[in-house]
Amino acid sequence: MISSILIANRGEIACRVIKTAKKMNIRTIAVYSEADVNSLHVKLADEAYLIGPAPVSESYLKMDVILDVAKKSGADAIHPGYGFLSENAEFSDKCEKQNIKFIGPSAFAINSMGLKDAAKKLMEKANVPIVPGYIGDNQDVDHLAEQAQKIGYPVMIKAVAGGGGKGMRRVNSADEFLASLDAAKREAKSAFGNDIVLIEKFILNPRHVEIQVFGDQHGEAVYLFERDCSLQRRHQKVVEEAPAPGMTISVRKAMGEAAVRAAKAVDYEGAGTVEFIVDGSDGLKEDGFWFMEMNTRLQVEHPVTEAITGQDLVEWQIKVASGEKMPKTQDELSINGHSFEVRIYAEDAENEFLPSIGDIYEFYLSEENGVRVDTGIEKGGEISPFYDPMIAKVISHAQTRKEALSKLANALRKSVIAGVKVNIAFLSDILEDQDFLDEKFDTGFIDKFLEKQVNDADLSHIASLAAAILSRQVTPNNAANDPWSRNDGFDMIYGNSGRASTMDVMINGQSHLGKYIIKSGEVLPAITAKNKLIVINEEGHLYISDQGKTYQISPRIYDDSGKVDAVGQVVSPMPGKVFALKVAEGDDVVEGDLLAIVEAMKMEHSLFAEISGKITQVDVITGDQVTEGQNILTIE
């Protein structure tokens, strides 16, 4: 049995592996970058080693440095988690050559499934159904356009080396093809160093259903049933559940056996996921699913499978890597109840889901009623611009889908994260959406959900409370004794007398007029708060949390001329790097022109001119790091 494991990862997944390893009395070794010196996974591990600066290319992707730490620490094995080196065939091969067990598949299996085009050809030979499309070496633009026309629109362009939604574009008509192809290739080249693409038929009303497979060193493989991961944004999963709604015994068996054939085709060892696109237009059918790709690693959403099967998949990984047979045979596996997982991201759900970066002033995720929280973050931590903005996963389990949904939604409404913007309220709204409750969804659900959301939510009670607090100039020194800072509900009642006042307050960067009452020397909100509010005031910052959504509050600042904003200033909407500048000082622009592109956390955000005029000032150059709100250029 493996007695010591180095976790070649960070954050939530590193903490997750450490938890199971400790349960098995296995020594854990963490690695960390300079940005992660105070991270939770470093604190939880038995040992921890610094491996380089913050950028992943100088730390978490340094194979030789990590292997040196493994040898220095006496690690028997390396668990790669997901992301980073988890699907790197060269790293798997190097571990084997240095007699360190890679907890995952062989280099052969990773290579076989690593490129989407080669994997599809392999799956076709293994009698696994694949989506109709073009997979070929001819990447001439005209040839690709011709193939798309033959397949029939809509089509999906996919980077063959892609993952996480990068290098993917849906194309609805021939008019869109060339621009979409150029964008997909450019994104794929930047993310993977490989701009080769394939084209496949886009399935209308598609659902994303994946099968958890497991293989051991004795040639056996099983499937641990399915997960539905249809709720996605920009091709990245947001909500996952198991089992899949509407699944029948016969379809489950057909998909599971196809996934096992896929795994056995590459002598698969360890945890893997075979992902299928499913036609959800008229119920699930045995001939209505097609292979998309195989992820040769543990998936982010593995906890929902653990919940319904009662199995610890990380424990399975460790036992299989130690040479043992799998803990259960196919006949011994069964489904119990229903489970959901949501991914909490540091992002602004009301501003195109831009990443949010900063310190965590308050961190509380409710674990009431057996809700599970997997995270690598704690109060006092930091969301940096160097890594994926996922903060935590919250998982519920109950006997029915409805009960599991309710349990998870309630937990989210009671959770508080302050310091960065998070998507908790957005997730809660999805879980309570009637169409989702009624199992009416496909991979386009979130786009449709966003279209019907009301953007002008009534924040009068938040603005009123904020104005009352700010008018009293609450500071951290007196916050403990201030009634507005208590973590409890309240209901202010005032009489007919009292002087009414207003204050212009900024709530998450938007201006709101807050009303308050001064009566008998006391400052009271003019509007009664209907919900439980938590006020957090640390280091001069003010946050109000209501029903799982945290608002960042500040008074609105005016310049000497009495104007709020300088007309024509183009600022960065997020911390990041200036990826491209499309204009120079002296250029004339018209409203709608592309001015610059800012990149952060593998996401590009284009900045367009909101007015016509002349570029009078450019404050950055390509490659500059910028902060949120920093001026990029000025139009006069």
Which among 409, 433, 253 has a CA at the least distance from the CA of 342? 409
Catalytic residues: 297
Q: Is 192 helix (H, G, I), strand (E, B) or coil?
A: helix
Q: Name the CA dihedral angle for 597, 599, 604, 610, rounded to a multiple of 10 degrees.
A: -40
Please give the structure tokens belonging to residue 388. Answer: 């994926």
Q: DSSP assignment, residue 97?
A: H
DSSP string, 153-186: SSEEEEETT--TTTTEEEE-SHHHHHHHHHHHHH
Distance CA 79, CA 85 (A): 10
Signed CA dihedral, 416, 420, 424, 429: sign only: positive
Question: What does each C-alpha distance from 551 to 371, 453, 501, 597, 609 come to in angstroms?
Answer: 25, 18, 22, 27, 28
Facing residues of 395 across strands?
A: 341, 372
CB distance 205 to 195 below 8 Å: no
Element (H, E) at 148: helix 141-151
The candidate with the shortest Cα–Cα distance to 636, out of 583, 597, 599, 598, is 583
Nearest to 5, CA basis, from 18, 106, 216, 16: 18
Contact 150, 113 (CB under 8 A): no
- Give the integer Cα–Cα distance in Å for 263 and 249: 21
| DSSP collapsed to 3 states, 212-249 | EEEECCCCCEEEEEEEEEEEEECCEEEEEEECCCCCCH
Q: In what order do the strands lie in the sheet with 613-618?
A: 569-571, 631-635, 613-618, 588-589
Q: In what order do the strands lie in the sheet with 522-525?
A: 522-525, 510-519, 499-507, 549-555, 541-546, 533-538
Tokens of 198: 């394939």
Amino acid at 576: G
Beta-carbon contacts of 451 under 8 Å, excluding residues fewer than 6 positions away, are none
For residues 406 and 398, give the distance between their C-alpha atoms in angstroms, rounded to a whole number. 10
3-state secondary structure of 391: strand
